[in-house]
Amino acid sequence: MKGGNHSPIGDGCIAILGAGSLGQLWAGYLPAGDVVFVPRHAPPTSQHAEALAYRLQQSDGSTVTIRVPWLPARDIQPSVLLVTTKAGDTLTALENQLPDLPSDTPVVLFQNGMGSQQAVAERWPERPILAASTTEGANRPEPGYTVHAGRGETWVGALTDNASPHLETVVQALRTSGLTIHAEQDIKRRLWDKLVVNAGINAFTAILDCPNGVILTEPFYLDHIDELCDEIVAVLRAEGSNSPTPAAIRQRIETVARGTAGNTSSMRSDRQQERTTEIDFINGYICRRGQALGIEVPVNRMLTDRVKELTR
Ligand SMILES: NC(=O)c1ccc[n+]([C@@H]2O[C@H](COP(=O)([O-])OP(=O)(O)OC[C@H]3O[C@@H](n4cnc5c(N)ncnc54)[C@H](OP(=O)(O)O)[C@@H]3O)[C@@H](O)[C@H]2O)c1
């Protein structure tokens, strides 16, 4: 144990940074006693803040009470750090915590979209940094109450060179949750696949303030979706990726929108609650890649600007 503090739970635990919906979901499924939350601000002395207690409605409808201790990064030697902050908060959150963690602690980034993962991997190229893409869904309809809204799957893969040797142990650690986890050799491709679907749904639902399925009959969506898919394909091809056709991308977007027709996207929810959205890491990421690659992406730019205006 580091720093002379003795909290046995801190050794070999699974630490979670970002005690929001997704962090509470993971903490609720991982074995009690093996998981801790890392507080944003460490207490000045070794006196730990208490624990975070909340009710978790699991995917089978049953509700359990969860208590997870808060332990400062300086007091733990976790087997893995799961990072479940929003994309825009992640670099700052890690700047605050990583100096206190051993340099060989694997770090798994759960953010949606792209851009934040690359920023972390570029900032700490020598650390084992992994990324996860998950279709699990969690939300917090009221304080102290977290709902596992949809059972999904999670893919984890290495981002930095040092991460590959940790992949299997990280996957095994996450599997102790009972959730479905896969090791993914091409995590960037999987992140792109999810980004493409989010790029075709989230901004439209936020701008139109509607559930996912409703966009499919809205003129604003119908007027822009083909051009949006053309832009995505142009960027993917310029990236050197083996891109599907624009029609295949549109079909993928619409299959997901139909399959989640009654759902509120996280971007619409952020807009409704006047929180910063992750648009910079979805359509905004496509804009940045387009600019770097010399490709015009006016629909992605328009959607990014419109969402930012709504949430300014
Ligand atoms: N929820 C899902 O179902 C789901 C599914 C797939 C992917 N994701 C992705 O997972 C990420 C998290 O989503 P979420 O829904 O869990 O968001 P969320 O509920 O807003 O949780 C984010 C948490 O991070 C905390 N945080 C922010 N800055 C921090 C810092 N510097 N240090 C420590 N903690 C900090 C926030 O605390 P405060 O509230 O105090 O600011 C909040 O508790 C997003 O990128 C999202 O796209 C979520």
CA distance 123 to 208: 37
Nearest to 108 by CA among 124, 87, 89, 130: 130
User: What does the pLDDT average to over 301-309?
Assistant: 98
For residue 10, pLDDT beyond 80: no
Separation between Cα atoms, residue 168 and residue 182, nearest integer Å: 9
% pLDDT > 90, the chain: 91
Ligand 1 neighbour 39 (Cβ under 6 A): no
Burial group, residue 164, by CB count within 10 angstroms (0-12, 13-18, 19+): middle
| 72 ligand 1 Cβ < 6 A | no
Which helix or strand (DSSP H or E) is residue 96 part of?
A: helix 87-97
- Report the distance separating Cα 286 and Cα 180, nearest Å: 29
Q: What is the Å distance from ligand 1's center to 18 Cα?
A: 5
In ligand 1, the atom with minimum distance to the C-alpha of 138 is 3
pLDDT (tens digit per residue) in 236-279 = 999 998 899 999 999 999 999 999 999 999 999 999 999 999 99
Q: Which of 25, 85, 275, 280 to mutate to test the pocket of ligand 1 (most atoms within 8 A of CB)?
A: 85
Residue 5 has pLDDT above 50, yes or no: no
Residue 30: which of 249, 176, 227 has the closest Cα? 176
Closest Cα to residue 206, out of 270, 144, 133?
270
Atom from ligand 1 closest to the CA of residue 139 = 1
The three-point CA angle 164-132-31 to 5° equals 95
Place of tokens 């394909």: 233
- What rounded mean pLDDT belongs to the chain? 94
Asked if pLDDT for residue 9 goes beyond 80, the answer is: no
DSSP secondary structure code for residue 212 in this structure: G
Task: Give residue 70 CA to ligand 1 midpoint distance, Å.
Answer: 16
* Residue 262 Cα to ligand 1 middle (Å): 23
User: Which of 151, 149, 158 is CA-nearest to residue 117?
Assistant: 158
Mean pLDDT confidence for 147-161: 96
Does the pLDDT value for residue 6 go beyond 80?
no
Active site residues: 194
Name the burial class of residue 140, with classes exposed (0-12), middle (13-18) and buried (19+) by CB atoms within 10 angstroms of its CB: middle
Q: What share of the chain is helix, strand, coil (3-state, %, to 5)?
A: 50, 20, 30
Half-sphere exposure of 238 (CA within 13 A, CB side): 17
Q: How far is the CA of 282 from the centre of ligand 1 (A)?
A: 16
Average pLDDT over residues 134-151: 95
- Return d(Cα 16, Cα 177) in angstroms, integer: 13
Please provide the DSSP assignment of 240-268 as one string: T--PPPHHHHHHHHHHHHHHTTTPPPHHH
Read off the pLDDT of residues 66-87 as tens digits, 9 standing for 90 and up. Answer: 999 999 999 999 999 999 999 9
Whose CA is closest to atom 47 on ligand 1?
Answer: 112
Distance CA 190, CA 244 (A): 13
* 84 in contact with ligand 1, CB cutoff 6 A: yes
- Set out the domains of the chain in order of their start, with CATH numbers: 2-184 (3.40.50.720), 189-310 (1.10.1040.10)
pLDDT digits (tens, 9 = 90+) for 187-244: 999 999 999 999 999 999 999 999 999 999 999 999 999 999 999 999 999 999 889 9
Q: What is the DSSP letter of 274?
A: T
